[in-house]
Amino acid sequence: MYLSKKTYVKNWDFQDKSQQHKVTVKKGSKVRTDIKPERVSYITESVAYWRKSNHIHQWFVTNCQGGEDQCQESYVDRGQLQELVNICKQVKESLEKSGKKTVKMEVGWQNGEKMYDDVEVFEDTELAEELLPTQPGFFFGGTEYDQWYVHGLDETINQIEPLLQEEGDGDFYYQSSW
């Protein structure tokens, strides 16, 4: 699961020199001559990355991809990113106020037999289920409201919040790959 920032840097003859960009790509200390600066239109930065945060993925699918989950690249505006951060904080606070309980869960297979272990999950998951529900699926990780769920919330807050505080322009795009 990836969030990229694309910044338009194409220079045009009608632009004032103060509005133009200088693009240089080096490998080591040597300028790459196979990349022509005048042909560069965008700089793409990888700004956030998640693994197995199915609740975060589903939020992007629902709110930015029109419900279509085809691993397509989708535009995400700053307001949507701020909304996601706010929801993550709200859900995290709700879960932290909740108690925990221990449940026995399947954790894998060994020698052809299912393995079980005690796992701590949150007791009150109502808000999480409403605002950022887990989603089952291939390569999606667990669907429990546990420490890994909260880890996904923390990753989201810690990666996106600083982006929203940065100056400058650029557009954000979400894409998953399974």
pTM: 0.89
Helix 54-64 vs helix 147-165: crossing angle, to nearest 10: 50
The predicted-structure confidence for 1-42, as pLDDT tens digits, reads as follows 999 999 999 999 999 999 999 999 999 999 999 999 999 999
The predicted-structure confidence for 43-70, as pLDDT tens digits, reads as follows 999 999 999 999 999 999 999 999 999 9
Domain ranges of the chain: 2-96+133-175
Contact yes or no for 104/118 (Cβ under 8 A): yes
